[in-house]
Amino acid sequence: MNQYNLTMEQITAYRTWLSGEEKSAGTIEKYLRDIGAFARWLKGAPVSKDRTSEWKTHLLAQGYAPVTINSMLAALNGLFHFLGWDECRSKFLRIQRRLFREERRELTRGEYDRLLETARSLGRERLALVMETLCATGIRVSEVRYITVEAARAGRAEISLKGKIRTILLPQKLCRKLRKYARKNKIASGEIFLTRS
């Protein structure tokens, strides 16, 4: 079995390679921070698959969340692949995804209706319509900008985030409300909820 020793020169070369791959500065910083944590934990010992697995167990014992551990392993596995040390790579922790949110985190129909009624009674028509749009479509707050006059006419919005594009269908009743709101506020095209700042 080969013996691998991690050096600063290798880590520096990996940083240069990540930069050449157009990774963001934040990603590079995180990867190097995670690799540095592994190197400090090693205390100069040779790298092996067993040592990588022990580090994974150590992180679990330290109370790190499985998702965090997997992100740290991704940084390490990327370095090992770059160095040609694929035999040192460790498998990710298996995480069972929750299919549904916990009920206590969801609004009841009564709570939702009260929120809308409160917004309307305070003259906050825009806020009420934003809440209706979020609840009717399941989009995130950061995706509200994709709700445009054109989307309300077409009955669907094309959402493009992080290199992924997905289509969200807009219910007809919501489309009518969105078009009416746009007409009332003299919004002929583009974002319906664009703030005037």
- Specify the amino acid at residue 54: E
Which residue ranges form the domains of the chain, and what is each CATH number? 8-88 (1.10.150.130), 104-184 (1.10.443.10)
Cβ-contact 89, 81 below 8 angstroms: yes
> Of 40-44, 70-74, 135-139, which gets the smallest average pLDDT?
135-139
Mean pLDDT throughout 4-21? Answer: 94
In this predicted structure, the answer to whether residue 1 has a pLDDT above a threshold of 70 is no
Percent of the chain with pLDDT over 70: 92
Q: Can you give the pLDDT at residue 161?
A: 76
* Inter-CA distances, 51 with 1, 47, 48, Å: 14, 6, 5
pLDDT digits (tens, 9 = 90+) for 140-190: 888 899 999 999 999 999 888 777 788 889 999 999 999 999 999 999 999
DSSP character at residue 148: B
Q: Which of 52, 60, 105, 101 is nearest to 80 (CA)?
A: 52
**C-alpha angle with apex 55: 53 to 56, nearest 5 degrees?**
65
Confidence of residue 56 (pLDDT cuts 50, 70, 90): very high
pTM of the model as a whole: 0.52
